[in-house]
Amino acid sequence: LEKKHFQRDATKVMEWIDDYFAQLESLPVKSKVKPKAIYEQIPAAPPESSEDLDQILQDLSEVIVPGITHWQHPNFHAYFPANSSLESVLAEFITAAIGAQCMIWDTSPAAAELEERVMEWLRDAMGLPANFEGVIQDTASSATLVAILTAREVKTDFRANEDGVPNNLRVYCSTETHSSIEKAVGISGIGKKNLVKIPVDEKMRLRADLLEARIREDLENGLVPCCVVAAIGTTGTVAVDPLPELAAICEQYGVWLHVDAAYAGTALLLPEYQWMIEGIDRADSFVFNPHKWMFTNFDCTAYFVKDVDVLIRAFEVLPEYLKTKSRGLVNDYRDWGIPLGRRFRALKLWFVIRSFGMEGLRKKLRHHIALNEKFAAAIGEHPEFELVIPPFLNYCAFRWVPQNETDEARLNACNEQLLDTINKSGKLFLSHTKIGGKYVLRMVIGQTYVEERHVLQALEILREATKMVPLGRPN
Ligand code: PLP
């Protein structure tokens, strides 16, 4: 691309994006392509000579888009959202243009200082303690790995980095916590066999009494409790672990307390959900994803830590070529996580927060929560649907219970087929989980541009789809 054509071609790309958003609702939410269908349409070898942007954009529409599952579609209610916003898209365009690699302050002072400031904005707006410091990471999985590695270093007096990891460290979480904890414990060298999953109570919260009993037992057996991961909003049921009790235990036994609020953390922008982090001042680290429910396109994870010195000590490596005169006066984020190279992610957060304003963010979140209340009420009133847990935030877990059907295995099969029917329709995309052995459908209303009509449409699609599942309609 010649530089002189940039404006012309950028306009074409912007027009393409504009058209994409305009036609989004007419596209199937979940891609319908068969495995390898896209791969086979892409030539086996790259082109020798330059191709025209018009041709590339045409192939984008014809070859690539059919293989996209549209995460920004207002009928996308699967998993947890990875919502975006026009403001975030524009900022990302600029980020790519600037192309700064923000490993240290010197490589872009504005990137480092904007990051410092927007993390303070978020920290204060979310009611996190003033002595926490924040850093942007790529995903909650990476941030949790960072937390567990830091806990490991603190517990081994910073010897594990030097000598290797002792095999008697223990990490604790509930049976409901996200798979990223297990992954991190494996990668950290602590070993998955040393991850202890503590049972939950009837509200799916980690049982603090069982945690304490287990820590005591482990200590008696010569094991070394190192880290507890508490969840604020688990993936299956959005359960909120009891932070005050967990913090007291962690303090008593000298254990690092990491809080995974990857998805539900955004709700802390609302004063009415501040109760979820009562006791957070006694935690050591906290993570949430603006890329899930805060209108900031993937990827953008906010990680906060109480004692930044131990974080840096755990991660610092300082080769000659990275030494700078500003060291000690500024934040060099290379030492605050795993990768050296870092994207300028603060820019999109800055754009989103400034464009929405805190009031605008709160308004959107409350809108989603209100829509979920409506959806859940309709599900609860319907004779053939059942709320499996009480709705919370913008999340609803429910199942279809065809009349006269009481066999649990058949109910599970009915719901699996119902989900398949819905998702194949392309009109709506939900995902599933199992709660107490029950196959349930997960509905999350977190799309940036979702409106009430989409939620009503979802109810209608669900009702219609039940008529198409033969298993639920025995003669
Ligand atoms: N923690 C929780 C509670 C989650 O729900 C998820 C993803 O849904 C994660 C962690 C992992 O997030 P990421 O994809 O940013 O690693």
pLDDT tens digits for 89-123?
999 999 999 999 999 999 999 999 999 999 999 99
Å from CA of 240 to ligand 1 middle: 15
pLDDT digits (tens, 9 = 90+) for 293-340: 999 999 999 999 999 999 999 999 999 999 999 999 999 999 999 999
Angstrom distance (rounded) from CA 179 to CA 299:
19
Å from CA of 409 to ligand 1 middle: 29
Q: Does pLDDT of 475 surpass 60?
A: no
- Residue listed under structure tokens 């409506």: 374
Q: Within this chain, do residues 214 and 284 fall inside the same structural domain, yes or no?
A: yes
Q: Within this chain, do residues 308 and 423 fall inside the same structural domain, yes or no?
A: no
Angstrom distance (rounded) from CA 346 to CA 48:
37
Contact 111, 100 (CB under 8 A): yes
Contact 359, 271 (CB under 8 A): no
Å from CA of 393 to ligand 1 middle: 17
**Residue 439 is encoded by which pair of tokens?**
């196959």
Q: Within this chain, do residues 168 and 269 fall inside the same structural domain, yes or no?
A: yes
Q: Closest residue (by CA) to atom 12 of ligand 1?
A: 140
Please give the model's pTM, rounded to 2 decimal places. Answer: 0.96
Sheet holding 395-400, edge to edge: 385-387, 395-400, 438-444, 431-435
pLDDT of residue 306: 98
Q: What is the percent of the chain with per-residue pLDDT over 70, rounded to a whole number? A: 99
Å from CA of 412 to ligand 1 middle: 25
Q: Closest residue (by CA) to atom 5 of ligand 1?
A: 235
Å from CA of 332 to ligand 1 middle: 26
pLDDT digits (tens, 9 = 90+) for 37-74: 999 999 999 999 999 999 999 999 999 999 999 999 99
| Index of the ligand 1 atom closest to the CA of residue 234 | 3
pLDDT of residue 470: 80
- Residue 299, preceding bond cis, omega within 30 degrees? yes
Å from CA of 210 to ligand 1 middle: 25
Q: Within this chain, do residues 271 and 327 fall inside the same structural domain, yes or no?
A: yes
Q: Within this chain, do residues 357 and 339 fall inside the same structural domain, yes or no?
A: no
Would the ipTM clear 0.95, i.e. be above it? yes
Asked, for residue 22, whether it belongs to a domain, the answer is: yes
Angstrom distance (rounded) from CA 138 to CA 216:
36
Q: Within this chain, do residues 294 and 220 fall inside the same structural domain, yes or no?
A: yes
Asked, for residue 348, whether it belongs to a domain, the answer is: no
Å from CA of 141 to ligand 1 middle: 6
pLDDT of residue 314: 97
Which CATH number is 450's domain given?
A: 3.90.1150.10
Which CATH number is 63's domain given?
A: 1.20.1340.10
Å from CA of 144 to ligand 1 middle: 10
pLDDT of residue 405: 87
What is the chain's Cα-based Rg?
24
Which CATH number is 158's domain given?
A: 3.40.640.10
Asked, for residue 75, whether it belongs to a domain, the answer is: no
**Residue 290 is encoded by which pair of tokens?**
């603006």
Q: Within this chain, do residues 314 and 369 fall inside the same structural domain, yes or no?
A: no
Task: Tell me which residue of 137, 158, 104 sits closest to 319, measured CA to CA.
Answer: 104
- The pick from 263, 300, 338 for probing ligand 1's pocket by mutation, whose C-beta has the most ligand atoms within 8 angstroms, reads 263
Contact 83, 447 (CB under 8 A): yes
Å from CA of 180 to ligand 1 middle: 7
Asked, for residue 247, whether it belongs to a domain, the answer is: yes
- Model confidence at 289, pLDDT cuts 50, 70, 90, reads very high
Segment 334-363 shows an average pLDDT of: 97
- The pick from 146, 179, 180 for probing ligand 1's pocket by mutation, whose C-beta has the most ligand atoms within 8 angstroms, reads 180
Q: Within this chain, do residues 251 and 329 fall inside the same structural domain, yes or no?
A: yes
pLDDT of residue 473: 67
- The pick from 142, 178, 229, 298 for probing ligand 1's pocket by mutation, whose C-beta has the most ligand atoms within 8 angstroms, reads 178
Which of 297, 323, 343 represents a domain boundary (last residue)? Answer: 343
Q: Which residues line ligand 1 (CB under 6 A)?
A: 80, 139-141, 178, 180, 231, 233-235, 260, 262-263, 289, 301
Q: Does pLDDT of 421 surpass 70?
A: yes
Task: Give the count of domains, the chain.
Answer: 3
Alpha carbons within 13 A on the beta-carbon side of 250? 29
Asked, for residue 77, whether it belongs to a domain, the answer is: no
Asked, for residue 91, whether it belongs to a domain, the answer is: no
pLDDT digits (tens, 9 = 90+) for 186-238: 999 999 999 999 999 999 999 999 999 999 999 999 999 999 999 999 999 99
Contact 293, 365 (CB under 8 A): yes
Q: Does pLDDT of 246 surpass 90?
A: yes
Q: Within this chain, do residues 218 and 294 fall inside the same structural domain, yes or no?
A: yes
Asked, for residue 393, whether it belongs to a domain, the answer is: yes
Residue-range definition of the domain harbouring residue 360: 353-472
CA angle 353-354-357, nearest 5°?
Answer: 75
Asked, for residue 89, whether it belongs to a domain, the answer is: no
pLDDT of residue 474: 61
Q: Within this chain, do residues 106 and 199 fall inside the same structural domain, yes or no?
A: yes
- The pick from 187, 204, 237, 289 for probing ligand 1's pocket by mutation, whose C-beta has the most ligand atoms within 8 angstroms, reads 289
| Index of the ligand 1 atom closest to the CA of residue 144 | 10
Segment 400-405 shows an average pLDDT of: 91
pLDDT of residue 471: 77
pLDDT of residue 339: 96
pLDDT of residue 404: 85
Å from CA of 358 to ligand 1 middle: 24
Q: Within this chain, do residues 373 and 266 fall inside the same structural domain, yes or no?
A: no
Q: Within this chain, do residues 318 and 444 fall inside the same structural domain, yes or no?
A: no
